[in-house]
Chain A
Amino acid sequence: MNARFLSYLVKRLLMALLTIFLVIAITFFVMHAIPASPFSSEKAKSDAVIAALEAKYGFDKPVVVQFWNYLKNIAHGDFGLSTGWIGNTVIDLILGGFSYSARIGFTAGFLAIIFGVVLGSVAALRRGKFLDKLIQVTTTALVSMPSFVMATILLLVFALQLNWFPSLGNQPGGLFLPVVSLMLYPMAYVTKLQRSSMLDVLGQDYIRTARAKGVRNSRVIFKHALKNTLTPVITYAGPMMAYILTGSMVVENIFSVPGLGRLFTNSMLRTDYMMIMGVTIFLATMIILMNFIGDILYKVVDPRIDLG
């Protein structure tokens, strides 16, 4: 941990915090630009009731004051009260949903990386052979399939036609299909990354040197090559997180998983602005932090990279 690395770390952290602040500001001001009051869309209420409700939720103050208050509250972990699920705080709803989404999301992400690295390495080592071609065709097809298409087709085939898995996420084994539909796209992407990175590394001089001095093939691959191929995969961790979190919005709806994504789409239907803001900020923070961790890891595992 030298001074250069530390200064990079601080710079990158400040950048991440600035981005989070920007997301909060964008979210807040976009939601406040909506002319309709969140209460006016509901059943007939008298003006006095609406005014009382707006005062209760602090909607009657100037926007800048509201923004400052909102920032202060967020810093204390208070995202306000939900207007769509009366009697619940936004943060409780978010954490409740996140426990499901995290389980699906991290499993999917973990499996995607493991399978992706293995498949990509195999394809690179069997370059030009049948197995390589098969893997390439499959991954190309998989990255052309939106998550909702994947999820609905899996639901149709494996849950409704073959009855192998339950169609609802809250039944035993019900999280299998959501995880699979979320992991296939990132898995295919990691496979592509890993294949080209493995091919690149295998062409390096130090691999030739290792082979020339008689090191066994398995040792060349695991000891010399694999470690150096993983850097592109690590940088994909952030974008993968973004894909999985947004993908879970449709997948959780399709399989009726009570996670964060379903909560988000439902809060749009109920025009629950506090909820929409809370979930957007929460998800964005997760994605930005994941990007941050990915970038830092990238520099840690590969000291050759210049810390610009």
Chain B
Amino acid sequence: MADKKFKNPLSLQIDPGLFEKATDEEKAQQVTMRESVSFMRDAMRRLRKNRIAMLSLVIIVLIALIAFIVPEFYPYTYTKQDVTAQNLAPFRYSAKEQMKIDKGQSVFPHIMGTDNLGRDYAIRVIYGTRISLLVGIFSALIVVVIGIIYGSISGYFGGKVDMVMMRIVDIIYSLPDVLIVILLSVAIKDWVATSKSALIARLGAGMVSIFVVFGLLYWVSMARQVRGQILSIKEQEYVLASKAIGAGPARIIRKHMIPNCVSVIIIIAAMQIPSAIFTESFLSFLGLGVSIPMPSLGSLASDARTALRSYPYQLIFPALAIFLIVLSFNLLGNGLRDAFDPKLRN
């Protein structure tokens, strides 16, 4: 260096002129924080690798598409009765329909046969599936909303508030839920039958009471988990560390609380769906579910019992549908748990 300012070469004095400002690009190289989306991306990558879970997801999407789109252009409706076409086996035609075919007209086949009132069975099973999916999704929604609000309030405030709120949760948790669903649906059956509201009348006693009971009882496990997460995250060293380097509450909530709760929320919501579908079909089987003539997979299976020996297919189709739906949701739930559970991450 030509313009040496300091005489002593061993001097520790620094010459500011030798430094230059870092460019933005060079600054960016120093940022070690991962992108904020990477948690979700990470989980989704793991989920995509899980072939069973992805297959279940595809099946659920297919079933949902069939349940919500097919009735729009299907030639039969779930209410239309045809006394000449009672209890037809799958792909059979009634005498009247056979005559039409002989004349050269086309008749849409009864893919799953018809029931004892001559209604097309396929469209009834599809409508039942639609009911099951709706019940599952809405119940999960109720549980998610109430559980998160309750759990995060309890976890955030802690202390006495938390103790009282968790005692309430303990009591609700030990109530026998299915019995209370049954009790409520018995009690509100009359009220639903005479209700002015078209929506309530269409839903039926069982559905209304399922939603009421999910709102009253089923959110407790979600609330417990969310509270537990928030309590434990509050105490974590990495939260303390980020506070120490000057992170505000907004950053802690965004970077630590939400990503850690999201996994629990997704896992429990996914587990909630099959359990709601189970409960709805159980109630419909007991005759407490949707109102006639609206079909549900449970009530279809129940009706099939009267002529089980002669028309076993009337049991097989709804049974298969409910099995497939619950199985797919269970497997997807397992996949989501494996993908999102931070404890299993490696």
Instruction: Tell me the bound Cα distance from A242 to B180 in angstroms.
Output: 12
Q: Taking CB as reference atom, which chain B residue is nearest A27?
A: B183
A-facing residues in B299-341 (Cβ within 8 Å): 301-302, 304-305, 308-309, 312, 315, 319, 322-323, 326-327, 330-331
Residue of chain A at shortest CB distance from B180:
A26
Q: Is the interface of B mostly helix, strand, loop or mixed?
A: helix
Q: With a CB–CB cut-off of 8 A, which chain B residues contact A113?
A: none
Asked if A145 CB lies within 8 Å of chain B CBs, one says yes
**Inter-chain contact A249/B174, CB cutoff 8 Å:** no
**CB-nearest residue of chain A relative to B187?**
A30
Partner-binding segment picked from B25-33, B38-46, B63-71, B282-290 = B282-290
B295 located at the interface, meaning its Cβ lies under 8 Å from any Cβ of chain A in the complex:
no
Question: Quick check: A18 and B171 within 8 Å, CB to CB?
Answer: yes
Contacting A at CB under 8 A, from B233-283, are 274, 278, 281-282
A153: which B residues are within 8 A, CB to CB? 315, 319
Residue A23 is within 8 A (CB to CB) of chain B in the complex: yes
Q: How far is the CA of A141 from the CA of B323 in the complex (A)?
A: 8
Contact count band on A: 35 or more
Contact with B along A127-143 (1 / 0, CB 8 A): 00000000000001101
Chain B window 47-61, contacts with chain A (Cβ cutoff 8 Å), 1 for yes, 0 for no? 000000000000000
In the assembled complex, the Cα of A68 lies from the Cα of B312 at a distance in Å of 51
User: B residues within 8 A CB of A284?
Assistant: 175-176, 179
Docked CA distance A264–B287 (Å): 13
13 new A-B contacts, CB < 8 A, other than A146-B322, A265-B287, are A16-B174, A18-B171, A23-B179, A26-B180, A30-B184, A35-B191, A140-B330, A146-B298, A242-B178, A253-B286, A276-B186, A288-B174, A291-B174
Q: What's the minimum C-beta distance from A308 to chain B, rounded to whole angstroms?
A: 11
Interface residues of chain A, those whose CB is within 8 Å of chain B, are 15-16, 18-19, 22-23, 26-27, 30-31, 33-36, 140-141, 143-149, 152-153, 155-156, 160-161, 242, 246, 249-250, 253-254, 264-265, 268-269, 276, 280, 283-284, 287-288, 291
Q: How far is the CA of A215 from the CA of B281 in the complex (A)?
A: 51
Q: Does the CB pair B190–A149 fall under 8 Å?
A: no
Nearest-Cβ distance from residue A217 to partner chain B, whole angstroms = 29
B178 and A246 contact, CB distance less than 8 A: yes
Q: Decide: A148 and B282 in contact? CB cutoff 8 A.
A: yes
Chain B residues near A161 (CB-CB < 8 A): 312
